[in-house]
A and B are shown apart, each in its own frame.
Chain A
């Protein structure tokens, strides 16, 4: 029962992150969305790894690796956002602003 709760929460978090990634334009918000998708996915994975009689250590190790990889990607993304804003004064991509019809 508890595992199902965690797995479905993970699934919902993935969906939530996908929504944020597509609907929000500020790049920091999109980075948070990526992290939500990742952590939802890991939660789902963790729940699947806990179904057997003993807790499977392989998903746990993969998740720790995944968390570190996600941090690396987030760090590079955050660095890019700041550098982009230094050059252009904006923290969203130009074509997205055009699509919105206004610049923040």
Chain B
């Protein structure tokens, strides 16, 4: 029964993935990709990887999808959304087929699994969720660099602004009618979303959740609030926003350096301090991730998009 369910799910994933590559029009491709991401998230839940399922649904499907749709809207305005017709491309098919076959072969050629033994390490990690333990303790350096990759992408996106627009607010303007449905939604959602986002971070220490998943929810709340006209999109020149961008990485790096200065070692969390330290780092990271993600979706400063 369960294998049949997985088989059906995977067939659906493949079908929707195919539709996002082969279908007509970039807009459809983006919609299919979002659907695809949600189905993959279900797949992750089937594999028992609930943290990954959340990350895939929130970031892989949701945020990436919003980015794609926003870009499509801008391209349509620039009359660059149309796509030339595509014929079947045999060399590409051979390459894709070859890659797929070699991974298929690799699956059956893999030796018996040798996962590292975490039984002695996990109790010292400070958190009960093993995935959070890996992310914020065992492989904290990965996570620190990763949070900076996100920030580098944002600085890169800002570099796409036209020089004349540099002082403009970030992103295109959206005007919601003050009495409209979106405005009311924008007023209802933030309190609920805030609680849920914070809950995800808090829960991530012991069960499913984490800074990236929670930060994504908070970013979405902020974006809805901005679209509803409750919050103004920031400008690059506003120092408080830039401080929020770097807060998480600075706290993370600072705690790592504190470990080195106190003699424990760079990025070392003494067992007694591990839990409060991880929660502090995660709280600061969540703020920065939420702001960075929201600003990534808004895009570079843009004056030209004034429209009703």
Contacts and interface: CB of A to CB of B under 8 A. Distances in A.
Question: Is there a contact between chains A and B in the complex with CB atoms less than 8 Å apart?
Answer: yes
Interface of A: 1-26, 28-29, 31-33, 35-36, 39-40, 42-44, 46-52, 54-58, 60-65, 67-76, 78-83, 85-86, 89-92, 100, 102, 104
Contacts of A58: 115-116, 134, 138-139
Nearest to B135: A61
Given A22-B95, A39-B56, A104-B84, A9 B13 contact: yes
A77 B99 CA distance: 24
A20 to B, nearest CB: 4
B30 to A, nearest CB: 7
Contact of A80 (B64, B118, B130, B160): B160
28 contacts: A6-B10, A7-B107, A16-B21, A19-B95, A20-B21, A24-B21, A28-B30, A28-B68, A28-B71, A29-B26, A32-B30, A32-B68, A35-B60, A36-B33, A54-B115, A55-B47, A58-B115, A64-B52, A68-B149, A71-B59, A71-B63, A71-B293, A72-B149, A72-B152, A72-B153, A75-B153, A78-B71, A104-B84
Contacts of A85: 74-75, 78, 80
B96 A22 contact: yes
B240 to A, nearest CB: 22
Interface residues of B, number: 94
Given A71-B150, A86-B162, A104-B82, 15 more contacts: A2-B3, A5-B3, A17-B21, A18-B99, A32-B29, A36-B20, A39-B36, A56-B116, A57-B131, A57-B134, A62-B142, A68-B59, A71-B64, A74-B64, A81-B71
Interface stretch (B85-93, B188-196, B268-276): B85-93
Interface in B92-131: 92-93, 95-101, 103-104, 106-107, 110, 112-113, 115-116, 118, 130-131
Contacts of B29: 28-29, 32
Question: Chain B contact residues: over half helix, strand or loop, or mixed?
Answer: helix
A65 B143 contact: yes
A77 to B, nearest CB: 9
A55 to B, nearest CB: 5
Contact of B13 (A13, A72, A102): A13
Contacts, number: 272
Interface in B5-29: 6-7, 10, 13-14, 17-18, 20-21, 26, 29
Contacts of A39: 36-37, 40, 56, 60
A18 B143 CA distance: 28
Please name the 5 residue pairs, one residue from A and one from B, whose CB atoms are nearest each other, closest first: A15-B100, A19-B96, A11-B103, A22-B92, A57-B130
B103 A28 contact: no
A104 B6 contact: no
B88 to A, nearest CB: 8
A12 B14 contact: yes
Contacts of A15: 96-101, 103
A29 B79 CA distance: 16
Given A2-B2, A22-B96, A23-B92, A13 B14 contact: yes
B236 interface: no
